[in-house]
Amino acid sequence: MPTPLQEMPVPDHYRLLGVAPRATEAQIKAAYRKLSRVYHPDVQGGSPIAEDCFKLIASAYAELSDAARRLNYDRMLMLRDPLRLVDDPRAERALDVLDTVVTRLRKRPAILPGTSQGRDLRVEHPLPFARAMLGGLTTVRAEFATTCTQCRGAGTNEPERNPVCHVCQGHGTLKTGLRRQDLKCGFCSGRGLLVLAPCKGCGGSGQVPTHQDVDVHVPVRCRDGAHLRVRGGGEALAGGKPGDLVVVVRIQPHAFLRADGDDLVCQVPLMWSESVAGARVPVPTLDGTQWLTVPPGTPPGREFRIGGHGLPISSNPAGMAKRGALRIQVFIDMPTELTPSQGAAILALEAQLGVQRFARAVAYRASVGAVDPSGSAP
Ligand SMILES: [Zn+2]
Ligand SMILES: [Zn+2]
């Protein structure tokens, strides 16, 4: 867990030690001793947060307890924050909060989870083509942070070991700059207290990652990018009303099927011999593989129809929906890049068949030549 001390500007040395800028040497020493009893890592069982806090306090003490260094520091502080020396009425009693830890914690319900409404979660969900077209249920995983059960969201089970921040007096903010703006306290990260004994279940954040699997109803012929909302399927915090789950559908295209109106179209490649002699070829459908009998002498471009294997027809009332057709278009998977001897064999076969067997090619050349003699074939 990152320590909160790295995120915000570190408060000045007097604030870190909880003394007024005009404090005497003895007051500074006494403050350092008092803070050591709270933040020394030996006292806090090696808590890394206590260690970071103590480093700041110790380095502030090292500078202010040396008269020459303190003089320099005071000049620098006057330049950086000229109003710093005049407006700190609480400074004399800053360390009193260290004695009132438990009371202050009880008075700070803001750090405890309220009965807060969970947020809506938005999840992009890949959906197979068949599920998107036919509709039905799909399971979507919703991931979110929920209230830690070990500490009930407090971030700690030992509130008496977590002192109120003496730097900001538990307010979480400090007045800084010429405008005396409230900026987040850099000692406690604006929490108003230091969690020196964090909950082992959540590391002090009060929340743990969790997930739930939600069954989502997909309508028939669902569009890509459609938003499907599941009430109460979102983030759920202890004692609070759960948010909604919003599923953004991303349809995975089918390798062979595409929609065309109410029909599905599938392009099926045939080998030359299959086109000539006929074959049984497998055809993918939304409902599993079907077998198509291709009769002998099937030319490329011929279309076969399997009724009832297209898309559900949307105007049909719920129940056994009427469906469009699956249209199968065959084409010939012609080998190219033949060797010279293979090419010669093809030419020999064509010669043997005779030019009259290529009636369409002959007719095409004849008619194009009749329209535009200059474009006729050599
Ligand atoms: Zn603070
Ligand atoms: Zn916890």
Q: What is the per-residue pLDDT across 63-76, written as a single tens digit (0 to 9) for each? A: 999 999 999 999 99
β-pairing verdict for 173-176 and 257-260? unpaired
Rounded to the nearest angstrom, the distance between the alpha carbon of 194 and the centre of ligand 1 is 8
Closest listed ligand to the CA of 156: 2
For 289, phi then psi, to 5°, come to -80, 135
- Residue 83 carries which side chain, given as an amino acid letter? L
Closest listed ligand to the CA of 169: 1
β-pairing verdict for 173-176 and 181-184? antiparallel
CA angle (338, 343, 345) in 5-degree steps:
130
Mean pLDDT confidence for 50-77: 94
CA distance 303 to 299: 10
Rounded to the nearest angstrom, the distance between the alpha carbon of 184 and the centre of ligand 1 is 8
Give percent above pLDDT 70 in the chain.
Answer: 87
Q: Given a cut of 70, is residue 371 above it in pLDDT?
A: no
Query: Please, what CATH class does the domain formed by 4-99+166-184 belong to?
Result: mainly alpha
At 170 the pLDDT is 82
At 373 the pLDDT is 53
Closest listed ligand to the CA of 97: 1
Mean pLDDT confidence for 194-201: 86
At 369 the pLDDT is 72
At 112 the pLDDT is 42
Closest listed ligand to the CA of 154: 2
Neighbours of ion ligand 2 (CB under 5 A): 148, 150-151, 199, 201-202
Q: Given a cut of 70, is residue 107 above it in pLDDT?
A: no
Q: State the span(s) of the chain assigned CATH 1.10.287.110.
A: 4-99+166-184
Rounded to the nearest angstrom, the distance between the alpha carbon of 200 and the centre of ligand 2 is 6
* pTM greater than 0.85: no
Query: Please, what CATH class does the domain formed by 254-334 belong to?
Result: mainly beta
Q: Given a cut of 70, is residue 151 above it in pLDDT?
A: yes
Q: Scanning the structure block, which residue is given the tokens 């959540």? A: 202
Closest listed ligand to the CA of 193: 1
Q: Given a cut of 70, is residue 361 above it in pLDDT?
A: yes
At 106 the pLDDT is 43
Winning range, highest mean pLDDT, from 35-39, 182-186, 371-375:
35-39
CA distance 305 to 288: 16
Rounded to the nearest angstrom, the distance between the alpha carbon of 181 and the centre of ligand 1 is 15
Q: State the span(s) of the chain assigned CATH 2.60.260.20.
A: 121-152+202-252, 254-334
At 378 the pLDDT is 45
Closest listed ligand to the CA of 190: 1
Domain 121-152+202-252 homologous superfamily, CATH: Urease metallochaperone UreE, N-terminal domain (2.60.260.20)
Q: Which residues contact 141 (CB under 8 A, 6 or more apart)?
A: 123, 211, 212, 213, 214
Least confident of 63-67, 96-100, 190-194, 262-266: 96-100
Within 13 Å and on the Cβ side, how many CA atoms surround 9? 13
Q: Given a cut of 50, is residue 104 above it in pLDDT?
A: no
Closest listed ligand to the CA of 113: 2
Quickly list H helices, 88-246.
101-106, 129-134
Least confident of 172-181, 188-197, 278-287: 172-181
Rounded to the nearest angstrom, the distance between the alpha carbon of 158 and the centre of ligand 2 is 11
At 89 the pLDDT is 66
Rounded to the nearest angstrom, the distance between the alpha carbon of 225 and the centre of ligand 2 is 38
Higher-confidence residue of 186 and 152: namely: 186
179-183 CB contacts, 8 Å cutoff, 24+ apart:
180/83, 180/87, 183/8, 183/9
